Amino acid sequence: MGIICGLLGANLAGSFSRDIHEMFGATNYRYYEMPEEKLDEFFKNREFHGINVTMPYKTEVMKYLDYIDDEAKAVGSVNTIIKDEEGKLKGYNTDVYGFEKAWDRAEFFVHGKKVLILGTGGASKAVEYVLKNKNAGKVVKISRTGEDNYENLDKHYDADFIVNATPVGMEPFEDETPVDLKLFPNLRGVFDLIYNPLRTELILNAEELNIPCMTGLYMLVAQAKRADELFSGGTIDDRKIDSVYNAVKRNKRNLVLVGMPGSGKSTIGQVFAKEFGLRFYDTDQMIYELTGKTPEDILNADGEEVFRTLELELIKQLLEEENAVIATGGGVVTIDMGHHTIKHGSCVVYIKRALDELDLKGRPLSKKKGIEAIYNERKDLYERFSDTVIANDSTIDDAVERITDLLKIT
C-alpha cells in the first residue's frame, strides 16, 4: 500500500498536491479536507505516516505535535508532519526550502534590497525567514489591519521586490490584484506564491510591465520534494524538481490559438493535439455543432453581438479544461471579457499568416468588412493578447514544431 500520506486543509479544491507527490513517487497520497472542529479527532487517530498542511491550519496544527523542528519553530508555522515509529508527531516547514529554491531559480538578488511581503499568514512567515537569512536590506509586511497597509502603500514606492502571500489572485479573487505594480517604479522582481491559476493578475501585470516575475508553482513543487524526502526518509535528486515542475505546468495549462480567420489555427491545433495525444477544440466548429448554424450564418442573420455571446460562453466552459488545445474564432480578441481571463491558465499563441495567404472560404465576417479592414482592427489586439507569435509561413509541420519548441521553454 505504500506510505500513507496526504494533504490536510479546509478547502482542497484546485490543489495540485496529489499530482505532484505522485510524480515524486508517492503511491498513497490522500486529501484530508475538514473543518477545524474535526482536527482533534484527526490528530487523535493519526492514521497516516506523514501529512502536508495547508491553509488555514499551518499554525493551528502545532498544538497537536510532540516535536517541532527548529526551522519551523523559528518560522512559527508547520506545513509537514511526520509520524515516527512510536506514533509521535514532528512538524517541519518545507515552505522555507521551497521558497528559497524558487527565489534562487528566479535569480532575484535581494541582499540589501527592500522587499514588501503582502499578507501576514503562515506562508508570509516562511518568506520573511528566508529573505532575512538572505540579508534583505528591509522587509516590510503589508497587512490589511497593520501599520503598513494597502492605504499607505505610497510610503514604499522604493520597494525592489514584492512577494504576494495573500489569497488575492486565486478563487474567488481571480480577477483581482493585491497591489497596483505601477506604484513601484524601482521593482526588480515580483513573486506570487499562488500557483492556481498558473498566472495571476499580479503576474500578468508584471509580465506586461516587463518586470521579472515568478509564480508559486516552482515553490510548491520544491517544497513537495522536501516533504517527500521527509515522508520516505530518503533523498530525491534536485533535478527532479525541474522535471516535475515542467510536467505539472504542461499538464495544467491549455494552449489557446488566436489569429485571423484562415490563418491555420484549426489545422495547426489539430496536428499539434494529435501529435501529443491532447484534446482539441475548435470553437467555430463547436458552435456549428451546438446550433446547427455556421458562425457565418449566425453573424449574418443574428449579428455580431449574438455570435460573440455564444462564443464567450463556450470559451468560459473550455477554460475549465486542462492540457487541451483550443483554436478560437478570429474575432475572439475583440470580446470584452478581459484577456487575462484566458491567460490565467493558458499559453496564448498568435498564428500569423500573410493576408494574401489566408484561406477565407466560408469564413465569418470576411464578406461584409473586407479582410484588410478586419486585420487593421485586430492586429494590435492579437499582439497584445498573445504570449507569443508563430508565423505560419511554411508547412503545418513546421508551425507545429515551432510551437513545440516554444512550450518546452516557457
CA angle, residues 409, 342, 218, in degrees to nearest 5: 40
Side-by-side strand order, sheet with 388-391: 279-282, 324-327, 254-258, 346-352, 388-391
Q: Which of 44, 58, 138, 249 is catalytic?
A: 58
Considering the complex, state which of residue 14 and residue 185 has its C-beta at the smaller distance from ligand NAP: 14
Is residue 100 close enough to count as binding ligand NAP by CB under 6 A?
no
Is residue 75 close enough to count as binding ligand NAP by CB under 6 A?
no
Is residue 160 close enough to count as binding ligand NAP by CB under 6 A?
no
Selected from 17, 52, 80, 166, the binder of ligand NAP by CB under 6 A is 166
Is residue 140 close enough to count as binding ligand NAP by CB under 6 A?
no
- Distant-in-sequence, close-in-space partners of 90: CB < 8 Å, separation ≥ 6: 65, 66, 67, 68, 69, 81, 82, 84
Measured CA distances, 311 to 327, 340, 367 (Å): 12, 16, 20
CB of 340 to ligand NAP, least distance (A): 18
Q: What is the DSSP letter of 328?
A: P
CB of 99 to ligand NAP, least distance (A): 7
Q: What is the DSSP letter of 344?
A: T
Total interface residues for ligand NAP by CB under 6 A:
27
Considering the complex, state which of residue 61 and residue 298 has its C-beta at the smaller distance from ligand NAP: 61
Selected from 223, 254, 328, 341, the binder of ligand NAP by CB under 6 A is 223
Selected from 6, 122, 259, 329, the binder of ligand NAP by CB under 6 A is 122
Active site residue 379: no
- Distant-in-sequence, close-in-space partners of 382: CB < 8 Å, separation ≥ 6: 258, 259, 260, 333, 350, 352, 389
Is residue 386 close enough to count as binding ligand NAP by CB under 6 A?
no
Considering the complex, state which of residue 78 and residue 333 has its C-beta at the smaller distance from ligand NAP: 78
Please tell me the distance from the alpha carbon of residue 63 to that of residue 114, in angstroms, as a whole number.
34
Is residue 198 close enough to count as binding ligand NAP by CB under 6 A?
no
Is residue 220 close enough to count as binding ligand NAP by CB under 6 A?
yes
Q: How many CB atoms lie within 10 A of CB 404?
A: 12
Q: Is the peptide bond before 197 cis (omega within 30 degrees of 0)?
A: yes
Selected from 216, 259, 264, 331, the binder of ligand NAP by CB under 6 A is 216
Q: How many CB atoms lie within 10 A of CB 303?
A: 10
Tell which residue, 79, 27, 59, has the closest CA to residue 222: 79
CB of 396 to ligand NAP, least distance (A): 38
Instruction: Choose one: 107-115, 118-126, 247-255, 316-324; the region binding ligand NAP (CB under 6 A).
Output: 118-126
Is residue 119 close enough to count as binding ligand NAP by CB under 6 A?
yes
Side-by-side strand order, sheet with 213-214: 138-142, 114-118, 161-164, 189-192, 213-214
Place of cell 489557446: 256
CB of 345 to ligand NAP, least distance (A): 16
Q: Which residues bind ligand NAP (CB under 6 A)?
A: 55-56, 58, 95, 98, 119-124, 143-145, 165-168, 170, 178, 193-195, 216, 219-220, 223
- The residues carrying an active-site annotation are 58
